[in-house]
Structure 1
Amino acid sequence: MPKKKSERISVPQYAMALAHVASLRSEDPYRKVGAAALDYDNRVIGTAYNGLAPGYDPPEEFWDDRERRQKFMLHAEVNLCSLFRRGEARIVATTTMPCTACMQTLCAYGVKEIYYKEIYAASDAPEIAKLYGIVMEQVKDFPVDLLGEMSS
Structure 2
Amino acid sequence: MGNKEAIKTIAQNKKARHDYFILESIEAGISLAGTEVKSLRAGAVNLKDSWCDIYKGEVYVLGMHISPYEKGNIFNRDPVRERKLLLHRREINRLLGQIKQEGLTLIPISVYFKGSKVKVQLGLCKGKKLHDKRASAAERDAKRQIDRALKERTR
Relative to its length, the structure with more strand (as a share) is 2
Larger radius of gyration: 2
Which has the higher relative contact order, 1 or 2, with Cα contacts under 8 A spaced 6 or more apart? 2
| Same fold, TM-score > 0.5, yes or no | no
TM-score by length of 2: 0.27
Q: Output the TM-score relative to the length of structure 1.
A: 0.27
